[in-house]
Structure 1
Amino acid sequence: MPEDAISVISTPWMGALSAASTMTPRSEPTVTAAAGSAAIISAAARNAPRRRCVPRGSGQGKGPIAIPSWRMDACRETTAKASYRSLPTYDPSLTRRLARKSWQVIMRVATRVAECGGHRLAPRRFSGGAEGCCGTGLNFVAMHLTRQAAIAALTAAGVGASRALFMPGAAQAATGDHLTVFAAGTLAAPLRALDERFERLYPQTIVQPQFGGSVKMVKQISDLHEIADVVAVADYRVIPKYLFGSAGRQAYADWYVGFASNAVTLIYTQRSKYADRITPENWYDLLAQPGVAIGRSNPDTDPSGYQFLLMLELAALHYRLPGLSDRILANAPLANVRDTETELIPALQSGQIDYLAIYRSTALEQGFEYLRLPPQIDLGNARYASLYRRASVTTKNGTLTGAPIVYAATVPANALHVASARSYLALLLGPEGTEVVRRAGLEPITPAFAWAPDRVPVALRSLTRPWPGV
């Protein structure tokens, strides 16, 4: 955070914390948290033109104020009550959502205030693949906050957030558990859908997901000792490699379940080079042509990255073309590499790259044109497991051999909410979770594969079977 951002929030923020520490701990902390969090939105909304809240894509007016992670009732509630001078009281579900967002919004808006000085804050847009706030709730907030209004809002939000998050007894009674989920980026869509279902079943629990490259996410536990209640990865081998413990390293898990399979492919658009000529029979020749731009994820942090490299090695064997991998990778330089492949989808859509190495599930889910690669090379069919093992690649994390793509999950040994984590996995492995996974383009594994089935929690055993070949 810029130094000026710290000065912007330091005095009012510390004052807010001091004031919060003197408040009566049982006097409706989450209502205060909601009000404090809503102050940011309210301050912006008072300066904003009034707009109706309508479902996205409904064709009514110019669409809703963009607050994608909050439901329509949140949008209606804030826009309807923001003009009031007194802070509104929210229903419990909205209160929990606002309290959860407080910390993120406080720090992000403070940074934006510092950067924009005394001017009204303008939204950033995507540029060169970097994350901005275009199309997000922060876009709406930032456009209508001045520096003075932001400081006042941050102070109020600080009081509410500190009361909700730093008073264990009162906050826990009102907001319930916070279930932290670390997951692969390609699981974002299905797990967010699952999160909503889980929160309806267990209204006192808030699911807090974090998505990224699978290797990166598990290293946050094994190397940085961060706490997660559930871990779900895009390559089952990531869990034993980093969480089982070896060479004196701490063990964070001793079992996992495989719940879905996937395959490697490349997606493209009508503006991609050779889009009108590429087929499953000639793709490897066209992708090696000069001028083709290919995007991929980082093989050091993301399974999709090294699985794409394994696929190229298998393709060289399958088509009997030594050096094929090197020729294609010449068109996929480091400038076209991101932590997760989904970060490059805007670059594909804008024509900055022609092809993107990605999972088949994403292609199906988002309706992209994609290559239907032979099962002998796409890592998507367990029947070819012995063939896949003929390929190997080296990353910063060691040498990896080919294997079928199987998504896996576990509950780390240091999880804070073990019972809720097991309930979450039971929902994922059950009929509802299976349907959510299928709709996301993944192939569900039912019953799920279980590694070390005798260590799998009893509540999950009826939903699993022993891992094949073990």
Structure 2
Amino acid sequence: MRRILIIIMFVLFSLYVFSDILIFYASSLTPPLKEIAKKYEEKYGEKVLLEPSASIVVARKITELGRRADIALFADKNLFFKMVYPELTDWQIVFASNSIVLAYTKNSRYSEKINSSNFFEILLGDKDVRFGYPDPRIAPLGYRTHFLFQLAERYYNVPGLYEKFKEAKNIYLSRKSIDSLSLLEVGELDYVFEYRSVAKVHNLKYVEFPEEINLSSPEFEDSYEKTVISINNKVIMGSTIAYTVWIPKSSKNKEGAIRFLGFFLSEGLKILEKDGFILIKPYIEGNEEKVPEKIKAMIENAGS
């Protein structure tokens, strides 16, 4: 009997330690996360389940639907304090940035002449040109596209540009940052606002914008913070793009989550950089006293 109990306890322990790792994450991280998860599975023999969605939906799955995840990743660090801290987690790790670009194909209308100085004239000057971006009510790239037009109005000194953008009828709103890419690739859309990393891994042509308007540079944070949008009676202010990762308190597999996080902060960051992300020296936001010592050590060694 004692031997049977030992076997049962060992099996239960194995299931606990080596159970699947469920990750809710911002969809713009899909290409590198797939590669990271594959390499992690090969090294540790643990199954990683990836579930992409818009960042705000990532939080709602846990807050409103009561679902459990072992790791969550946002494309906007500001969502942490607005939606999940301190009820769902005590800390997050900021690890990367990105920039907004305008992606297109060789078949896009005016593709031979569009650039960072005339993009708004082409997008808003011809009703037959169709362009898209994610719904700002659920995706950071959506409200960041609004910020980009506000910044462009000032940078290029074009009064009324942002209002013209808001009133445009030739726009397609997608559910998350990568949803409109298929429509772009089959010619249903001419242009989509995307993150540079996504455009790069999908081998798309793209217009790069100056740092003054592409939300990638901390140098222009003061300017970014002067942009604003109201969504569902909530005010969202602009800021430099920043990706974060955190472990929910409700995680069923915290040991696996910590193990994956260690891999993510070493091998994973190299893959992110290869795919076009702008790496940030990882740092903690929230209650540092609640961060396990293992994770603090990982952050010290991140990227090595």
1:440 to 271, 275, 299: 275
The alpha-carbon deviation at position 440 of structure 1 amounts to 1.7
The alpha-carbon deviation at position 362 of structure 1 amounts to 0.9
Change in 2 beyond 3 A, CA 1:174/1:426: closer
Partner deviation per Cα, 1:83-138 (whole Å, 9 max, x = no partner): xxxxxxxxxxxxxxxxxxxxxxxxxxxxxxxxxxxxxxxxxxxxxxxxxxxxxxxx
The alpha-carbon deviation at position 173 of structure 1 amounts to 4.7
Alignment-derived partner of residue 375 in structure 1 = 211
Extract unaligned runs of 5+ from structure 2.
1-10
1:424 to 255, 260, 268: 260
The alpha-carbon deviation at position 171 of structure 1 amounts to 11
- 3-state SS, counterpart of residue 299 of structure 1: coil
Within 5 Å, which residues of 2 pair with 1:57-456? 173=15, 176-203=18-45, 205-245=46-86, 251-291=87-127, 292-331=129-168, 336-396=172-232, 398-430=234-266, 432-446=267-281, 448-452=282-286, 453-456=288-291
* In structure 1, C-alpha distance between the alignment counterparts of 2:222 and 2:289, rounded to whole Å: 27
The alpha-carbon deviation at position 237 of structure 1 amounts to 1.0
What letter matches 1:440 in structure 2? D
Extract unaligned runs of 5+ from structure 1.
1-168, 246-250, 466-470
Query: Is contact 1:218-1:242 (8 Å) kept?
Result: yes
Change in 2 beyond 3 A, CA 1:175/1:449: closer
The alpha-carbon deviation at position 239 of structure 1 amounts to 1.8
* In structure 2, C-alpha distance between the alignment counterparts of 1:412 and 1:322, rounded to whole Å: 44
The alpha-carbon deviation at position 311 of structure 1 amounts to 0.9
Indicate the percent of aligned positions where both proteins have the same amino acid.
Answer: 24
Which structure's residues are more often strand, by fraction? 2
- 3-state SS, counterpart of residue 377 of structure 1: helix
Structure 1, 388-397 or 213-222: larger mean CA deviation: 388-397
* In structure 1, C-alpha distance between the alignment counterparts of 2:14 and 2:138, rounded to whole Å: 35
Query: Is contact 1:290-1:331 (8 Å) kept?
Result: no
The alignment of Structure 1 onto Structure 2 pairs a total of residues equal to 289
User: TM-score by structure 1 length?
Assistant: 0.59
RMSD (Å) for aligned C-alpha atoms? 2.1
User: TM-score by structure 2 length?
Assistant: 0.89
* In structure 2, C-alpha distance between the alignment counterparts of 1:261 and 1:312, rounded to whole Å: 19
Partner deviation per Cα, 1:345-369 (whole Å, 9 max, x = no partner): 1111111111101101111112211
Q: Which has the higher contact order (CA 8 A, sep 6+)?
A: 2
Partner deviation per Cα, 1:381-434 (whole Å, 9 max, x = no partner): 11111110010011126111110001001001111111111111111111x111
Query: Is contact 1:365-1:439 (8 Å) kept?
Result: no
Partner deviation per Cα, 1:285-307 (whole Å, 9 max, x = no partner): 22211222111101111111111
Larger Rg: 1
The alpha-carbon deviation at position 460 of structure 1 amounts to 2.0
Change in 2 beyond 3 A, CA 1:324/1:174: closer
Change in 2 beyond 3 A, CA 1:384/1:413: same
